[in-house]
Amino acid sequence: MPDGKGAMTERERVLALLDRKKPDRVPIWPFAYQGFATVYTGTPISDAYNKPRVAYEAQKKTCHDFGWVFTPMLGYAAYGGWELGGEIKWPSGEFAQAPTVLKHPVETPDDVMSLKVPDVKTAGIVPIMKEFYDISSKELLDNEPFNVMQFGANGSFTIAGNISGPDRLCKWIIKKPDVAHRLLQLANEHISKLAAYWKELYGVENVIPLGGEPTSANQLISPNMFKEFAMPYITEINKMFIDMGYRHLYAHICGEHNANMEYWAQIPMGDPGIISIAQEVELFDAARYFPNDVILGNVNPAIIQTGTPEEVYAAVKKNVEDGKKIEGGYIFSPGCEMPPMAPVENIKAMSQAVFDHGWY
Amino acid sequence: MATEERTKEILKGLHDSVYEFEEDDAVKWAKTALEEGVDPFVATMEGIAEGMIAAGEAYNEKKYFVPELLMCADALYAGLDILKPAIEASGRQAEVKGSIVLGVVEGDVHDIGKNLVKMMFEVAGWTVYDLGKDVPLDKFVEEQIKTDAEVVGLSALMTTSMLAMPVVIEKLRAKNPKVRILLGGAPVNPEVAEKYGADGYAKTAGTAVDEAINLLKVLKEEELGE
Ligand code: B12
């Protein structure tokens, strides 16, 4: 249901924002790569994670049908556990939404100290991601500002937590800070090898690195812990990406991070970066902390799944009207992954609200 | 036998070692309690449990976060390991307040909140049958039947996995209409709990135990009324 009115394409809208210019309308760039796209196109959710061709076609069709920005992506929030040597379970059944770590590669401080980062090319989901990006990098459609949205940036703390299990990382922060730091270094070592591999394969031109940080939310750790254990590692990784020549990074600040925002604001995000915030952080607060970056967010995904089309429309309208006031630029998205079971009527109401109220 | 003053000192030692997450101290004070003849049940409830309750309050006030709570839990379990056998050996059966089957529903791995809930129930003297995370729905029913637990607590952190809750509730009710069902997790609220046909809902680990006790009271009253 593309609105068909605008002079600009979704690709041009996003690229205009990244050039610090105003687009004609707010772009819609939802977090709907995986579960939602597969459910909508009628294949099992696990295909989104382990069948690259099916996953790619599902994302492409979904973004086309609803008139959205398309940035092909294959990755998952529990990333790190399998990649560093553990075991994974694919989502199956009626209620599962994403892969789950079954066995963590480290359980004790000794395990951490002796863990070696495995060869990145064969690590966990990486070969599947490669197959996916091999496909996506071959074409650049007019709703694609980037044809590779490469998983790996700015998620150091969460990846570390996925390697050990977040509860262990939490305890080591207090009891064995040296072990926590070592784990974070291992996470960063893996990410930097991954980044070098992706750059070698796809260059930097049509590529945007992304990452997510659920596990460093204030629902789990304190702002001081964020400052000591998350900020330095995320900074290191983001600097590395920027030094490698990537112009823009996409950071999904997942969950309630209000007390961490002053630290997030010190982390380099590119020129400009895309700051994806959850519904727990106010749009204008995010804009205040990131005056020079583009803010992406942040309607509560729960409403999109459980609300009526009227409720969805009203929530999105409010978000878009606020977002348009953000000087540095704004892109519409739910605050986190689009629930796979969100009714199509609600999704249409969501897009329609942007088509009706998103014009500058 | 420890004097009243010394008993107080030991209870405070237990309380503080849990609250300040000093695992070694918790062990030391638990041993001291036994050596000096403090009732292990009193040591548990008025020392250790009080320390954990204070930690829960610090968490609500955002003085503590999940790492501190998990460390407090380690100290708590270290102390309990020493006191529990003594309670059993004394023949003075710790008063079991109730029993609960607890788990995160199928499809969902977010288990940090559930683990905190579990701890609060243990602290309050409940027997907890913890099924873990990503629990197949029939497992809740089987475990309830096997253990005859009065309460089943379901946790879900996603709107997707939350949809499994009414399915479990229906399965549980079909086998055992009397079982009390308690829901929790970020996307759940009192309205959702009611719509799904649960008996109760609690927003935090701290209030979960109170809510469960209320459910049991209602259950007992119904039984008396029969
Ligand atoms: C940490 C986290 C993760 C970690 C989880 C690690 C772990 N082992 O638990 C990781 C990185 C693995 C993860 C993965 C994913 N996550 Co996540 N995650 C979070 C985050 C940021 C915090 C959750 C948390 O631990 N909170 C801290 C604890 C202490 O709080 P709590 O769980 O709410 O528990 C308290 C109460 O709710 C209550 N309670 C809890 N259970 C019970 C039970 C009973 C009976 C009672 C009475 C009370 C009770 O007591 C607790 C203590 O007070 C939330 C954000 C949020 N808003 O919750 C997202 C969030 C839950 N995740 C989300 C998503 C989408 C995912 C993924 C699907 C992403 C992906 N595509 O890969 C995967 C799912 C994996 C899977 N198979 O389940 C979304 C869910 C959206 C939705 N559909 O509703 C959220 C809400 C983020 C958002 N902003 O929208 N995640």
Prediction ipTM score: 0.91
**Which residue lies with its CA nearest to atom 37 of ligand 1?**
B185
Q: What is the dihedral of CA A43, A52, A83, B103, to 10 degrees?
A: -10
Within a domain: residue A3?
A: no
pLDDT computed for residue B94 by the predictor = 55
Distance CA A15, CA A145 (A): 6
Contact A82, A124 (CB under 8 A): yes
pLDDT computed for residue B91 by the predictor = 66
Using 50, 70 and 90 to split pLDDT, how confident is the model at B206?
confident
> Model-level pTM?
0.92
**Which residue lies with its CA nearest to atom 45 of ligand 1?**
B153
Contact A71, A64 (CB under 8 A): no
User: Which helix (H) or strand (E) is B89 found in, with range?
Assistant: helix B66-89
Say which residue the tokens 């992954």 belong to.
Answer: A337
Closest CA to A296 of A309, A306, A286, A304: A286
Q: Can you read off the two tokens belonging to residue A223?
A: 């702002």
Give me the mean pLDDT over the B9-14 stretch. 97
A305-316 pLDDT, tens per residue?
A: 989 999 999 999
Task: Using the predicted structure, report yes or no on whether residue B218 has a pLDDT greater than 80.
Answer: no
Chain B residues lying within 8 Å of A160, measured CB to CB: none
Of the residues B24, B25, B65, B116, the best mutation for testing chain A's interface (the one with the most A CB atoms within 10 Å of its CB) is B65
Q: Which amino acid is at B15?
A: H
Q: Which residue of B has its CA nearest to A102?
A: B109
Of the residues B25, B158, B191, the best mutation for testing chain A's interface (the one with the most A CB atoms within 10 Å of its CB) is B158
Q: Can you read off the two tokens belonging to residue B187?
A: 């996307």
Chain A residues lying within 8 Å of B112, measured CB to CB: 166-167, 220
Greater model confidence, A248 or A100: A248
Contact A332, A323 (CB under 8 A): yes
In the beta sheet, which residues pair with residue A25? A359
Q: Can you read off the two tokens belonging to residue B198?
A: 């649960």
Rg value, chain B, Cα: 18
Within a domain: residue A4?
A: no
Residues 6+ apart with CB under 8 A from A222: A259, B62, B65, B67
Q: Can you read off the two tokens belonging to residue A309?
A: 């089309």
pLDDT computed for residue B223 by the predictor = 67
Closest CA to B144 of B169, B161, B123: B169
Distance CA A124, CA A138 (A): 24
Q: Which range of residues forms the domain containing residue A326? A: 10-357
Contact A229, A180 (CB under 8 A): yes
Strands A87-89 and A100-103: antiparallel
Distance CA A109, CA B101 (A): 32
Task: Using the predicted structure, report yes or no on whether residue A6 has a pLDDT greater than 80.
Answer: no
Within a domain: residue A115?
A: yes
Closest CA to B180 of B222, B226, B134, B119: B222
Q: Which amino acid is at B215?
A: L
Within a domain: residue A328?
A: yes
Within a domain: residue A73?
A: yes
Instruction: Answer whether A219 touches B (CB < 8 Å).
Output: yes
Greater model confidence, A269 or A5: A269
Contact B48, B25 (CB under 8 A): no
**Which residue lies with its CA nearest to atom 58 of ligand 1?**
B186
Distance CA A250, CA A269 (A): 7
**Which residue lies with its CA nearest to atom 9 of ligand 1?**
B110
Greater model confidence, A273 or B223: A273
Q: State the average pLDDT for chain A.
A: 94
Instruction: Answer whether B189 touches A (CB < 8 Å).
Output: no
In the beta sheet, which residues pair with residue B180? B151
Chain A residues lying within 8 Å of B68, measured CB to CB: 174
Distance CA A283, CA A81 (A): 32
CA of A213 to the centre of ligand 1 (A): 12
pLDDT computed for residue A96 by the predictor = 81
Distance CA B171, CA B141 (A): 7
Q: Can you read off the two tokens belonging to residue B110?
A: 């977010």
The CATH number given to whatever domain includes residue A39 is 3.20.20.210
Pocket of ligand 1 (CB under 6 A): A 34, 76-78, 97-98, 100, 158, 166, 214-215, 217, 219-220, 254-255, 278, 301-302, 335-337, 339; B 66, 108-114, 116-117, 153-155, 157-160, 182-187, 202, 204-205, 208
Task: Using the predicted structure, report yes or no on whether residue B1 has a pLDDT greater than 80.
Answer: no
Distance CA A241, CA A264 (A): 16
Give me the mean pLDDT over the B117-124 stretch. 86
Tell me the nearest-neighbour CA distance from A75 into chain B, angstroms: 17
User: Which helix (H) or strand (E) is B138 found in, with range?
Assistant: helix B137-147
Structural domain count, chain A: 1
- b/e string for A224-258 if b means 16 or more Cβ within 10 A? ebbebbbbbbbbbbbebbbeeebebbbbbbbbbbe
Q: Which atom of ligand 1 is nearest to the CA of A334?
A: 90
CA of B155 to the centre of ligand 1 (A): 10
The residue count of chain A comes to 360
Within a domain: residue A30?
A: yes
SS3 at position A297: strand
SS3 at position A270: strand
pLDDT computed for residue B124 by the predictor = 81
pLDDT computed for residue A254 by the predictor = 95
pLDDT computed for residue B159 by the predictor = 85
Distance CA B148, CA B131 (A): 15
pLDDT computed for residue A4 by the predictor = 58
Q: Can you read off the two tokens belonging to residue B153?
A: 């607590």
Terminal-to-terminal C-alpha distance of chain A: 20
- Half-sphere exposure of residue B153, counting CA atoms within 13 Å on the CB side? 37
Instruction: Answer whether B159 touches A (CB < 8 Å).
Output: yes
User: Which helix (H) or strand (E) is B54 found in, with range?
Assistant: helix B50-60
In the beta sheet, which residues pair with residue B201? B183
Strands A250-253 and B200-201: unpaired
Give me the mean pLDDT over the A189-208 stretch. 95
Of the residues A95, A164, A300, the best mutation for testing chain B's interface (the one with the most B CB atoms within 10 Å of its CB) is A95
Residues 6+ apart with CB under 8 A from A124: A79, A81, A82, A83, A84, A88
pLDDT computed for residue B215 by the predictor = 84
Q: Which amino acid is at A311?
A: E
> Domains, chain B, ranges and CATH?
4-90 (1.10.1240.10), 99-225 (3.40.50.280)
Determine the angle formed by the axes of helices A166-175 and B112-123, rounding to 10 degrees.
70
> Which of B157, B189, B216 for mutating ligand 1's site (highest number of atoms within 8 Å of CB)?
B157
A18-30 pLDDT, tens per residue?
A: 999 999 999 999 9
A254-285 pLDDT, tens per residue?
A: 999 999 999 999 999 999 999 999 999 999 99
B121-171 pLDDT, tens per residue?
A: 888 888 999 999 999 999 999 999 999 999 999 999 998 899 999 999 999
| Residues B160, A101: C-beta atoms closer than 8 Å | no
Within a domain: residue A196?
A: yes
Q: How far is CA A77 from CA A158, A179, B101, B109, B122, in A?
A: 8, 22, 28, 11, 31
Q: Can you read off the two tokens belonging to residue A89?
A: 């379970």
**Which residue lies with its CA nearest to atom 80 of ligand 1?**
B158
Using 50, 70 and 90 to split pLDDT, how confident is the model at A163?
very high
Task: Using the predicted structure, report yes or no on whether residue A36 has a pLDDT greater than 90.
Answer: yes
| Residues A97, B160: C-beta atoms closer than 8 Å | yes
| Residues B159, A93: C-beta atoms closer than 8 Å | no
Using 50, 70 and 90 to split pLDDT, how confident is the model at B220?
confident
- b/e string for A15-41 if b means 16 or more Cβ within 10 A? bbbbeeeebebbbbbbbbbbbbbbbbb
Within a domain: residue A353?
A: yes
Strands A250-253 and A274-277: parallel
